[in-house]
Amino acid sequence: MKKILRFSAKKQAELLKKGEVSSRELVEAYLERIEERRDINAFITISDEALSEAKRMDSVRAGGENVGPLSGLPVAIKDNIVTKGIRTTCASKMLEKFVPPFDATVVEKIKGSGGIVLGKTNMDEFAMGSSSEWSIFGAVKNPLDTTLTAGGSSGGSAAAVADFQAPFALGSDTGGSARLPASFCSIVGFKPTYGRVSRYGLVAFASSLDQIAPLARNVEDIAFLFNIIAGPDERDSTSIKEPFVPLENLGFDISKVKLGMVKEGLGEGVEKRVRDVVVRAIEMLPSAVDEVSVPEVNYSVPIYYVISTAEASSNLARYDGIRYSYRADGYSDLKDLYIKTRTEGFGEEVKRRIMIGTFVLSSGYYEAYFLRAQKARRLIRDRLDTLFERFDFLVMPTSPTVPFRLGEKLSDPLAMYMSDMLTIIANLGGYPAISLPASKKESIGLQIIAPRMEDDRLLRFAFEVEKALSAM
């Protein structure tokens, strides 16, 4: 592997800017690395245009033009974010041949900042899963130990970044899909405040929870990418209208920060070694820490799996074989076409979600499930908002367990769903949250949650935490 691939994204961009490396050399080095590490299965599609784009960037730069902050740096993009002319499959047979005619807003912004789409990363089908095994392209392997899963659903993005196959990447986070794989691959994953990054061009899973999320090897690189992708977008009606002010300086004095350590995040269902590592990491910080209780954490998995499946069942109704998706052969009439297409086009987990979602929305069950889940969601939000009056941030582990083995939870959906027990509350309340490696020896993530719209404060704090932990 070329030495430059180990540098941070920020550093690589600086070298590009100074002309000490060309975009072509860099992209070639990444393509070589990806080829060498095909067994990790991080990518579904490598962009045919990456190299020609890199050459184009080099000549633009040689002409003395400013190509933008990314300066010809490649970025890996999760395969549920649409890319013009590059197929976007969501790891599903349903979209296996789908080549989008437009770019997602985030992709437009990356290109507009001098970035290059390197390729599309592997994931759980339609982002439904916690291990990146539910993919028609096969499971992603954890680059730190290939017998383990990389976490999900943005496992391909996390594995690519951890394995130096990309400087950084975009994932998505509906219930933890960027933070969990970041934790499993010992990198950083950040879910911004709901609406801070445009969802235009993100294939919808559960629209009230979905956020596009950067993954990188350090906090500074996360902020670098976040600065490029964040901000209002009139094509996404849920995007926050308030202008986005890019983050300039990361550090600050964290000795006056008050942390609430969530008791339920250290209780039942959480492995002892996870607890020990995270508590030790928190105690290392100069900030004040108090234990707080968020009893709703124990109900968050059922609440999330009612709301997210309900929204998914509605969002996935569009894959009917009529427009752009897969269409089954040999149907007798329209209804048969729908049935065959959807039976063949969706995988097992996606079908399970559609069935649960349809059930919880159906008349007679709507009040008992969907409506109650919405009310419970409100209680979580109220609880956390109240806590944020007294605390700057809430902290707990990202995942209740260390990375599990490939295949271990595939036949036990509930066990798989429990992996999300600590990440979901941030999505239900729309809060920004980040996962940072809490140990140099094991893949255990420390999760920090902040009040809505305090993305910049969260990143500045995380930067200090990262520094403190690396000195450990």
Among 153, 157, 183, 239, the active-site one is: 153
Pick between residue 287 and residue 423 the one whose CB is nearest to ligand GLN. 423
For ligand GLN, which stretch binds (CB under 6 A), given 7-15, 125-133, 219-227, 439-447? Answer: 125-133
Handedness of CA 459, 301, 265, 158 (dihedral sign): negative
- How many residues lie near ligand GLN (CB under 6 A)? 14
Q: Which is nearer to ligand GLN, 47 or 153 (CB)?
A: 153
Does position 129 interact with ligand GLN (CB under 6 A)? The reply is yes
**Element (DSSP H or E) covering residue 196:** none
447 binds ligand GLN (CB under 6 A): no
**Is residue 173 at the binding interface for ligand GLN, with CB under 6 A as the rule?**
yes
Counting beta carbons within 10 angstroms of the beta carbon of residue 422, is it exposed (0 to 12), middle (13 to 18) or buried (19 or more)? buried
Nearest CB to ligand GLN, comparing residues 12 and 308: 308
Write the DSSP string, 91-156. TSGGGTT---SS--HHHHHHHHTT-EEEEEE--SGGG--SSS---TT-PPBPTT-TTBB--SSSHH
Residues in 295-314 at the binding interface with ligand GLN, rule: CB under 6 A: 308
Smallest gap from residue 130 Cβ to ligand GLN (A): 4
Contact at 8 Å (CB) between 179 and 394?
no
Q: Which of residues 178-217 bind ligand GLN (CB under 6 A)?
A: 205
The C-alpha atoms of residue 63 and residue 84 are separated, in whole angstroms, by 27
Residue closer to ligand GLN by CB (options 92, 130) is 130
What three-state secondary structure class fits 188? strand
Smallest distance, Å, CB 173 to ligand GLN? 5
Choose, from 177, 325, 399, 439, the residue flagged as catalytic: 177
| d(C-alpha 60, C-alpha 139), whole Å | 39
Question: Of the ranges 39-47, 51-59, 123-131, 434-442, which one interacts with ligand GLN (CB under 6 A)?
Answer: 123-131
d(CA 373, CA 369): 6
Contact between 128 and ligand GLN per CB under 6 A: yes
Is 443 noted as a catalytic residue in this protein? Answer: no
Instruction: Provide the 3-class DSSP secondary structure of residue 21.
Output: coil
Convert 362-375 to b/e letters by CB count within 10 Å (16 or more is b).
eeeeeeebbeebee
| Per-residue binder mask for ligand GLN (CB under 6 A), 38-77, x = binder | ----------------------------------------
Query: Is residue 176 a contact point for ligand GLN (CB under 6 A)?
Result: yes
3-class SS letters over 148-180: EECCCCCHHHHHHHHCCCCCEEEEEECCCCCHH
Binding of ligand GLN by 398 (CB under 6 A): no
Cα four-point dihedral sign 178, 180, 182, 185? negative
- The yes or no reply on residue 79 touching ligand GLN (CB under 6 A) is no
The stretch near ligand GLN (CB under 6 A) out of 169-177, 246-254, 316-324, 333-341 is 169-177
Nearer to ligand GLN, 47 or 308 (CB): 308
Annotate 252-321 with DSSP letters as a single string.
Answer: --GGG-EEEEEGGGGSTTS-HHHHHHHHHHHHHSSSEEEEE--GGGGGHHHHHHHHHHHHHHHHGGG-SS
Active-site entry in 17, 22, 71, 78: 78
Say whether 177 is catalytic: yes
Q: Is 347 a binder of ligand GLN (CB under 6 A)? A: no
78 is catalytic: yes
Comparing CB distances to ligand GLN, the nearer of 123 and 228 is: 123
Residue 127 within binding range of ligand GLN, rule CB under 6 A: yes
* Residues designated as active site: 78, 153, 177
Q: Using CB under 6 A as the criterion, which residues of the chain lie in contact with ligand GLN when the complex forms?
A: 127-130, 153, 172-177, 205, 308, 420
